[in-house]
Structure formats: C-alpha cells, structure tokens
C-alpha cells in the first residue's frame, strides 16, 4: 500500500502472496505514471528498500537495493523509519484495513486474489479515500509531472555481467547467447547489464544499445556445444536449455570484481629475451 503521509489518501494498494522487490516497484511505477514524481519516499527498513549491516542499527545508504537504485535515478530521496511510531499514520491505516477489508471481501463474496485486487481498484480504494482522507494544511501538490519515457528500464531488476569469449553471459545458473550486432562482431570482455522487467521480459544492454531481448515464453537461443582439444564435443552448462523465469533472481546485484588475474602463460618473446641475455652474459665472461 502506498499513501500520502499528509492526507492519508491511498494511491496504490494490491494484495500479493509475498512482498518483493518487483511488487514494490510495480506500485511505485503506477503512482509515478498516474500522479508524477513525489518529493520523498518514507518507508520502513525492509530489505527491499534499504540494506542494514546489522539488525537494529542504522541503514547503509551507500549500498543501494534495486528500489534504492531506481529512486536515485529518478532523483527521489528515501527516508528510513526507525520505529512504528515514526510512521504512525501509515500504521493506523494498516490497522483500519486489517479490520475492515476482510469483512468487505466476505460481504462481496470474493474468494480469489484476482477478484480481491479488482475489487480494490474499482471500488474499495475510492470509498476508503472518500471516508478517511483529510485535507492537507497547505494548498498545492508536491508531485511533479514526469517526462521520463524510460520507466520500463528504471523499474527493472538490474544485474551486471561480463560477456565470455563465446559471446555468452552466465545468468540464473545458465548460459545465455548474445547474437552478433551490426556495429560490433563480439562483446567478449565487455560488461553488460541484464534487465529483468516487471512483465517477465529479459533484456541485455551494453551502454545505450539493446543487444538481446527475450520474452517470458522464449528461450535465450539454441543450446551451444563446445569442442575439446581433440575436437570432440564437450558437455557443459551452456548445453542446457534456458527458460526465463525458471529461477529467482538476486535482490541485490553482485559487486563487480576488484581485479582481473591473467589466465595465460608468459609471452614467448619474453622467455627468448631472457635466454638471449644469459648467452650474452656468458660471452662477456669468456
């Protein structure tokens, strides 16, 4: 549920099986699309909003969650609440909803999640606001019209990946094939961003370029096969068929590696140079 802390007006409310980053993003995006950009987001310290090093201590605002990253891109500051009393208006609304909504659903003979959410949208939220919303002390609005056309990208779960030499990325314990582009033969060694959209689509971007786009029903391409040194086919993880949505994603993207270590032997000319120096040294001694 998303409400105005000044007027108690409900802007968004939906029943979900479990609150998650995606459900929170869906609500925030709908409010921004309908009302505009708000001045600040005041929330509890749930893991969807903030990262807390130790339970009960202050949040670490330098380590952004996916929701925190989206709010930063939109220029909306986030304020953590350190007690239920700090969010008294919201907590009182929760109590009212918990007491009234089950009875309203029972009287309307609603027994499924889809029917309940439809009831909230079409009837209950408007009736609730009409009865319980109050006028603000100051006139005007704190919303600003949003001219952003990239909300679909902002409100997505983003994860960084490094492209392998065969132009694939490791994602969800699978190997995902990136096709060749007209402007670059291969993205091997480049860092790309995987976007898990709220509607189930998965896209991969390299800077401003979209280099891959898979729908929820499609796979990430044909299974690949690698050959060993003797030319025989090797069975590997990239032979598995990839189905988007088959595995849950991380709430917080993994941190990038701090350094890269060489994986090949020393270059041949370096060894030859050392042997030549030893030969000259022996010649000078003679």
Return the axis-axis angle of helices 66-74 and 21-34, rounded to nearest 10°.
20
User: What's the pTM?
Assistant: 0.73
Q: What are the tens digits of pLDDT across the range 139-165?
A: 888 889 888 899 999 999 999 999 999
**Cα 117 to Cα 98: distance, rounded to the nearest angstrom:** 15
Domains and CATH numbers, the chain: 2-132 (3.30.420.10), 152-239 (no CATH)
Residue 60 · residue 97 · CB < 8 Å: no
Q: How confident is the model at residue 270 (pLDDT cuts 50, 70, 90)?
A: low
Q: How confident is the model at residue 21 (pLDDT cuts 50, 70, 90)?
A: very high
Residues facing residue 156 across a β-bridge? 197
Identify the DSSP state of 248: P
């Amino acid at each position: 549920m998303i409400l105005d802390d000044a007027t108690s007006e409900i802007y968004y409310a939906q029943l979900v099986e479990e609150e998650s980053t995606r459900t929170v993003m869906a609500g925030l995006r709908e409010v921004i699309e309908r009302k505009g950009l708000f001045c600040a987001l005041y929330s509890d310290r749930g893991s969807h909003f903030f990262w807390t090093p130790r339970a009960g201590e202050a949040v670490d605002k330098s380590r952004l969650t996916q929701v925190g990253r989206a709010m930063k891109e939109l220029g909306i500051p986030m304020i953590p609440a350190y007690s239920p009393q700090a969010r008294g208006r919201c907590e009182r609304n929760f109590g009212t909803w918990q007491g009234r909504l089950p009875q309203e659903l029972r009287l309307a003979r609603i027994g499924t999640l889809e029917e309940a959410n439809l009831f909230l949208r079409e009837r209950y939220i408007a009736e609730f606001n009409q009865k319980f919303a109050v006028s603000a002390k100051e006139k005007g609005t704190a919303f600003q019209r949003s001219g952003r056309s990239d909300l679909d990208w902002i409100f997505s779960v983003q994860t960084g990946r490094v492209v392998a030499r065969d132009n694939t990325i490791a994602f969800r314990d699978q190997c995902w094939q990136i096709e060749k582009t007209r402007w670059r033969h291969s993205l091997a060694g480049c860092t790309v961003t995987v976007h898990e959209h709220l509607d189930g689509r998965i896209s991969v971007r390299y800077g401003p370029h979209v280099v891959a786009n898979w729908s929820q029903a499609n796979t990430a391409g044909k299974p690949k096969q690698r050959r060993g040194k003797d030319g025989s086919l090797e069975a590997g993880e990239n032979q598995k068929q990839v189905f988007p949505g088959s595995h849950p994603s991380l709430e917080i993207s993994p941190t990038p590696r701090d350094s890269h270590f060489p994986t090949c032997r020393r270059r041949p000319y370096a060894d030859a140079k050392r042997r030549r120096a030893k030969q000259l040294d022996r010649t000078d001694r003679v």
